[in-house]
């Protein structure tokens, strides 16, 4: 249930969900949020936020309605190149090749 609340807060604050915003949304201190997310996912809050954003990216890529620049923008990445770097690091394939 806790992770569902975190997920909802992340999605609510796209394209720029950040740790302070999630803490405020959930009424938790940074330390409490970090502890609970780490227990549930073995990730830090920042890692978990990026993980969720990249999972959303895979869905958007598979839908085929948006190009990489649009997806990068929708998810709050500073530029498409940085998004591509993060995506490739996570999935081992560039987003432009993910659908294939």
The token pair at 70 is 């649009």
DSSP symbols for 6-55: HHHHHHHTTT---HHHHHHHHT--HHHHHHHHHHHHSS-HHHHHHHHHHH
pLDDT in tens, 37-76: 999 999 999 999 999 999 999 999 999 999 999 999 999 9
Q: So what's the pLDDT on residue 27? A: 97
Residue 100 pLDDT: 73
Contact call for residues 72 and 95 (beta carbons, < 8 A): no
- Given a contact cutoff of 8 angstroms between Cβ atoms, the answer to whether 94 and 84 are in contact is yes
């Amino acid at each position: 249930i806790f992770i569902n609340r975190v997920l909802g807060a992340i999605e609510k604050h796209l394209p720029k969900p950040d740790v302070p915003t999630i803490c405020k949304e959930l009424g938790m201190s940074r330390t409490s949020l970090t502890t609970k997310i780490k227990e549930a996912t073995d990730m830090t809050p920042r890692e978990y936020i990026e993980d969720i954003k990249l999972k959303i990216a895979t869905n958007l890529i598979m839908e085929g309605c948006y190009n990489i620049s649009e997806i990068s923008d929708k998810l709050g990445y500073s530029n498409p190149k940085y998004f591509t770097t993060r995506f490739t690091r996570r999935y081992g394939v560039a987003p432009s090749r993910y659908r294939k």
